[in-house]
Amino acid sequence: MAEGYFPAWRRTTGASNGIVAPDERLGWPQTVAMGVQHVVAMFGSTVLAPLLMGFDPNLAILMSGIGTLLFFVLVGGRIPSYLGSSFSFIGLVISVTGYAGGGINANIPVALGGIIACGVVYAIIGLIVMAVGTRWIETLMPPVVTGAVVAVIGLNLAPVAVKGVSGSNFDTWMALATVLCVGIVAVFAHGMVQRLLILVGLVLAYALYAVLTNGMGMARPIDFSIVANAAWFGMPHFSAPVFKPQAMVLLAPIAIILVAENLGHIKAVSAMTGQNLDRYMGRAFVGDGIATIVSGSVGGTGVTTYAENIGVMAVTKIYSTLVFAVAAVIALLLGFSPKFGAVIQTIPGPVLGGVSIVVFGLITVAGARIWVQNKVDFSDNRNLIVAAVTLVLGAGDFTLKFGSFSLGGIGTATFGAIILYALLRGRASSVPAAM
């Protein structure tokens, strides 16, 4: 019998080997429960990213659900993935909009034009992959390049995080307490709580802040009246994009990072399930690109596949793609709840700043992890120079100006890493003994 566009999703319990394959499904009660778990897994990051950029978190959650459904349809239900807000956009969105933190970003439309441009580039890459395969991507962006670019994002954002918690002595100490809360959860918690370290740590710090301010009057208290006055159901705040060439050129290269993320995630799922999903790679890139375009068109953030959800799959061994369709529908419902958005808006600045320190640091370390996992050889001068130059360009926010156009640190580092590796690719040599 010919294979259809979507799998048949045969019913299984996973009892034989404990694995529920992408084209299998559990009973509907278990499927819904797993969908809820995946929403919880993506929740912390998908909400945090728009807050750091000044976007509407309700809309980000809504568009993550729509984006996941688009992805699900375009890959024919063959790849288990959830699309949430991408942290790769944070640095450049803050740069092109001049966002200083606190409340809604007044220049969101400018960022949206760039996000759409990134989605278009991403989708075009997907179409090329569908035609010729992924080998050219792996040649153009080897682990030494992708690792350096990912690390640069975190390093470039570091000053933003630190500046955001320097308003008062209380803010600084509260941010450090937040870092400690996340660290305690990361080290001493177990199971799903540990996997939700950012979300759980944020909740603990939020409670501590409420005790110190609302209870003891040590600083500005949390205003819960906005939660009480918010409706349970309503529309999120939509925004129309504005297409400025400078913002579009700066944000479009983020597609390179999204490709690297998606490529790695699909490879990981292939390894865990024992199913080769490479033939769906191009469709996955197109799906993610279109989801980013749609999100940016109405005021949402750029989206990407989530490592948090891949972690949930690794623990549960449940890879059924139907679970992600359920998770997407749940996210859609949350997106239409202003009360949910009001709760998010009560998160104190110092707590959000402390979480930002952790998140930006984790992004930096994720780049180094790519090097370690792929055994990048730093005795090769080419790898050493590419990584060293890329990190300093990005961390120092090295800016190139072409007339009235400026290319900031992350953009310079990204293009520099790719071009430098290509130029030095012809020869590999060991580092001299004396350095």
The number of domains in the chain is: 1
Nearest to 58 by CA among 43, 47, 45: 47
Report the pLDDT value the prediction gives residue 402, as an integer from 0 to 100: 67
Query: In whole angstroms, what is the distance from residue 381 CA to residue 435 CA?
Result: 12
C-alpha distances in Å from residue 397, one per residue of 123, 146, 209, 248: 28, 18, 33, 18
Instruction: Work out the number of other CB atoms within 10 angstroms of the CB of residue 380.
Output: 17
Query: In whole angstroms, what is the distance from residue 379 CA to residue 376 CA?
Result: 9
| Beta strand 303-305 pairing with 400-402 | unpaired
Report the pLDDT value the prediction gives residue 433, as an integer from 0 to 100: 42
Instruction: Work out the number of other CB atoms within 10 angstroms of the CB of residue 262.
Output: 25
Q: Tell me whether residue 56 is in a domain.
A: yes
Token digits for 414? 């990204």
Q: Which residues does 253 contact at the CB level (< 8 Å), separation at least 6?
A: 118, 121, 411, 414, 415
Q: Tell me whether residue 168 is in a domain.
A: yes
Q: Tell me whether residue 430 is in a domain.
A: no
pTM: 0.73
Q: Which residues does 214 contact at the CB level (< 8 Å), separation at least 6?
A: 221, 222
Query: In whole angstroms, what is the distance from residue 187 CA to residue 182 CA?
Result: 9
Whether residue 20 contacts residue 315, with contact meaning beta carbons closer than 8 Å, is answered with: no
Report the pLDDT value the prediction gives residue 435, as an integer from 0 to 100: 44
Q: Tell me whether residue 434 is in a domain.
A: no
Report the pLDDT value the prediction gives residue 366, as an integer from 0 to 100: 73
Report the pLDDT value the prediction gives residue 191, as an integer from 0 to 100: 67
Report the pLDDT value the prediction gives residue 1, as an integer from 0 to 100: 43
Query: In whole angstroms, what is the distance from residue 329 CA to residue 37 CA?
Result: 13
Report the pLDDT value the prediction gives residue 434, as an integer from 0 to 100: 43
3-class state of residue 224 by DSSP: coil
Q: Tell me whether residue 8 is in a domain.
A: no
Q: Tell me whether residue 418 is in a domain.
A: yes
Token digits for 420? 């430098």
Structural domain of 279: 28-221+230-424
User: What is the pLDDT tens value at each position of the chain, 435 positions in all?
Assistant: 456 788 888 887 655 566 788 888 888 888 888 887 788 767 767 887 888 888 988 899 999 999 999 999 999 999 999 998 887 788 778 888 888 776 788 899 999 999 999 999 999 999 999 999 878 877 887 888 878 877 887 787 777 777 767 778 888 898 899 989 988 888 888 765 665 677 788 889 988 988 888 888 788 888 788 788 878 888 888 999 999 988 898 888 888 878 877 887 787 788 777 788 888 999 999 999 999 999 999 999 999 887 667 767 776 778 889 999 999 999 999 888 888 777 777 888 788 788 778 877 877 787 787 788 788 888 889 899 999 999 998 888 787 776 655 666 777 887 888 889 988 876 555 544 444
Q: Tell me whether residue 317 is in a domain.
A: yes
Q: Tell me whether residue 23 is in a domain.
A: no
Buried-state track 48-80, b at ≥16 Cβ within 10 A, e below 16: bbbbbbbbbbbbbbbbbbbbbbbbbebbbbbbb
Nearest to 97 by CA among 295, 89, 359: 89
